[in-house]
Structure 1
Amino acid sequence: MTGNPSLSLDLVSDVRQLVAFPFMVNALEAGTIVAVLAAIVGWYMVLRRQSFAGHTLAVMAFPGAAGAALAGLPTALGYYVACGAAALAMGGRSRPTMRGYRTETATIGTVQTVGLAAGYLFLSLNTEVLSGFETLLFGTFLGVTQNHVLVLLAVAVVALAALALVARPLLFATLDRDVAEASGVPAGALDVGFLLILSVAVAATSQVTGALLVFALLVAPPAAAQAITVRPLPGLVLSVAFGLVIVWLGLGVAYFSPYPVGFWTTAFAFGLYVVVRVGVFVGRGGARAAWTTRRGGWVVASPRAGS
């Protein structure tokens, strides 16, 4: 249809189209902030094997926003209160394993179930919220204002500063909990503290991506980065780079297509993860192609065999 933005072979011209509108500038700024925040916090989340806990916090953003709207309060407040309360409820409710990770217990699943039920209850009690139901679940990059960007920036700075303060002991406790505790590291307090930081990251990101799509930025970039390298600093840098590429591509392609930003963001996140995993597998020679025949069956030998 005449007047619709169209993609051309001139990249500079296309970028100029994107930044010609204030709403797209706000979307790019907000997307950049949440991509960096989610990628860094998500890197620790994936390393600690707390993806289920992160998903539960993302789900809790939905009843938080719906409940705040029902009470006549800012939805942003609902995001933070609900996610923070869920983090406290889950903190310390899991048992340590031999490698220092925290197994996810029925408490996390219970919190998630109650949160979903509460969210639907709040929606049924407030019909006005139904008009923004899709926004709560799938977000809206294009509805972000300059004030939202500033608030997101402030929250991201505080969350990342808090994470920086506990980064080394948190990494120590994650990799070897027993030794860390023997060295005086308060592993239990770090568990709760990290969940609170994660809840802030989820609440901030959910305001842009929605409660359901926040997981795309929280898991895919860190998981792809850790598939490439286990070293902390390079892994964090890669995670941030992947997150930025996903958000920028998602916003750019959505601007020139009739499909929503959330779809493109999630699609690029999934595609990136698949490409990285396949690339790493092929780069290592298909598990070094170490196939051996044993007792009439095919067995994959250890990747380190023969090295």
Structure 2
Amino acid sequence: MIGRWLLAEGDGTGVWQQIFNFDNYGELLGLVQNSLLAGALLGLVGGLVGVFVIMRDLPFAVHGISELSFAGGAAALLLGVNIVAGSIVGSLLAAAAIGVLGVRARDRNSIIGVIMPFGLGLGVLFLSLYKGRAANKFGLLTGQIIAVDTPQMSWLISTSIVVLIVLLIVWKPLTFAGADPEVAEARGVPVRALSLAFMLVLGLAVALCVQIVGALLVLSLLVTPAAAAARITASTVLLPVLSVVFALISIEGGILLALGSTVPISPYVTTISFVIYLACRLATTKRAKRTPRVLNSASEVGAMRV
């Protein structure tokens, strides 16, 4: 081990070899077919849900829900039942509490601040009581790519279908309510009911993402792709499309890189999504510099003439 480290210190190749090994990559691909399919579902769900997370300013809620989703998954692991089901129950409980008790933004942030440490504490308690494989504990926090078995895949597919159907039904009124809630409510749109419905949908989406990227890093799928897309377009059509594309690139790219690596999947997903966001931000900054500033006052026009 010391010799390898000295080699790594000498030319840098040792570190690379310890992190990446693509010798049997083709054979390993057969082990992650379920994960690639799950990643495609998560990219689609995360990209679409993320649009409304950004629109309704709910990134903090995503993190709060993920903590209770982690607690639910840890409880399921301890009891020996389906982990996806446990995560979903935890997510829905958190989402319902935030949706019902946190109607106003100020109240919502307070509720989330209460739920987060409670969920994290419960999760740590359940994991400390669990005497099984350490990899199962670690996977709930940072994600894993080869643990998506057939029963879990069934849960992921069915839950994703529910989320997509609900989003299809509420997409237009939810967009209207997010853009101008007062006008939407005046025109008869059930703003509060839509808000609660979306929180429950968000809870399901968080539970799905926890299975692949872990509870600590769900923001990389439910916030960063949509935030990147929002940097380069305001189109109601192009925004969700780009958000889904960015989420798919992040999750599928992370899975493929992690397959030939000793590092968990989450650092790859978060790095890819961050690089995409950074590129979008830099692109808009350069475009803003190239665009001539419009003079909007008589004094500015007169100054230019002088």
Aligned to 1:192: 196
1:262 counterpart = 2:266:
yes
How far apart, in 2, do the equivalents of 1:131 and 1:32 lie? Answer: 24
Bigger proportion of residues as helix: 2
Does the Cα contact within 8 Å between 1:63 and 1:82 map onto a contact in 2? yes
Deviation at 1:246, TM superposition (A): 1.2
Alignment CA distance shift 1:259-1:129 (3 Å): closer
1:114 to 114, 118, 121: 118
Question: What amino acid is the match of 1:138?
Answer: T
Aligned to 2:211: 207
What SS does the corresponding residue of 1:141 show, helix, strand or coil? coil
Query: What are the within-5 Å matches in structure 2 for residues 234-273 of structure 1?
Result: 234-273=238-277
Aligned to 1:73: 81
How far apart, in 2, do the equivalents of 1:24 and 1:71 lie? Answer: 26
Q: Deviations over 1:144-172 (max 9, x none)?
A: 22443333122111111011111111111
What SS does the corresponding residue of 2:50 show, helix, strand or coil? helix
Aligned to 1:293: none
Aligned to 2:90: 82
Deviation at 1:213, TM superposition (A): 2.2
2:170 to 135, 152, 166: 166
Does the Cα contact within 8 Å between 2:45 and 2:160 map onto a contact in 1? yes
Does the Cα contact within 8 Å between 1:224 and 1:239 map onto a contact in 2? yes
What SS does the corresponding residue of 1:231 show, helix, strand or coil? coil
Aligned to 1:283: 287
Moved more, 123-132 or 263-272: 123-132
What SS does the corresponding residue of 2:216 show, helix, strand or coil? coil
Q: What is the RMSD of the two structures over their aligned residues, measured on CA atoms?
A: 2.5
Deviation at 1:95, TM superposition (A): 4.5
Does the Cα contact within 8 Å between 1:88 and 1:196 map onto a contact in 2? yes
Does the Cα contact within 8 Å between 2:51 and 2:240 map onto a contact in 1? yes
Does the Cα contact within 8 Å between 1:281 and 1:287 map onto a contact in 2? no
Query: What are the within-5 Å matches in structure 2 for residues 115-194 of structure 1?
Result: 115-128=119-132, 130-194=134-198
- How many percent identity over aligned positions? 33
Aligned to 2:232: 228
How far apart, in 1, do the equivalents of 2:225 and 2:204 lie? Answer: 18
Alignment CA distance shift 1:259-1:226 (3 Å): same
Give the aligned length: 277
How far apart, in 2, do the equivalents of 1:250 and 1:71 lie? Answer: 30
Aligned to 2:51: 43
Question: What amino acid is the match of 1:281?
Answer: T
Does the Cα contact within 8 Å between 1:60 and 1:86 map onto a contact in 2? yes
Aligned to 1:26: 34
How far apart, in 2, do the equivalents of 1:41 and 1:257 lie? Answer: 30
Does the Cα contact within 8 Å between 1:57 and 1:83 map onto a contact in 2? yes
Does the Cα contact within 8 Å between 1:250 and 1:268 map onto a contact in 2? yes
Alignment CA distance shift 1:102-1:44 (3 Å): farther
What SS does the corresponding residue of 1:232 show, helix, strand or coil? coil
Deviation at 1:112, TM superposition (A): 0.9
Alignment CA distance shift 1:68-1:230 (3 Å): same
Deviation at 1:258, TM superposition (A): 3.5
Q: Deviations over 1:257-307 (max 9, x none)?
A: 4433221111111111111111111111178689xxxxxxxxxx9xxxxxx
Deviation at 1:194, TM superposition (A): 0.3
Does the Cα contact within 8 Å between 1:93 and 1:105 map onto a contact in 2? no
How far apart, in 1, do the equivalents of 2:80 and 2:148 lie? Answer: 20
Deviation at 1:106, TM superposition (A): 0.7
Q: Deviations over 1:51-94 (max 9, x none)?
A: 10011111211111111223332222210111000111111333
Unaligned runs of 5+ in 2: 1-16, 295-299, 301-306
Aligned to 1:297: none
Aligned to 2:4: none
Unaligned runs of 5+ in 1: 8-13, 291-300, 302-307
With the length of structure 1 as denominator, give the TM-score of the two structures: 0.83
Deviation at 1:225, TM superposition (A): 0.6
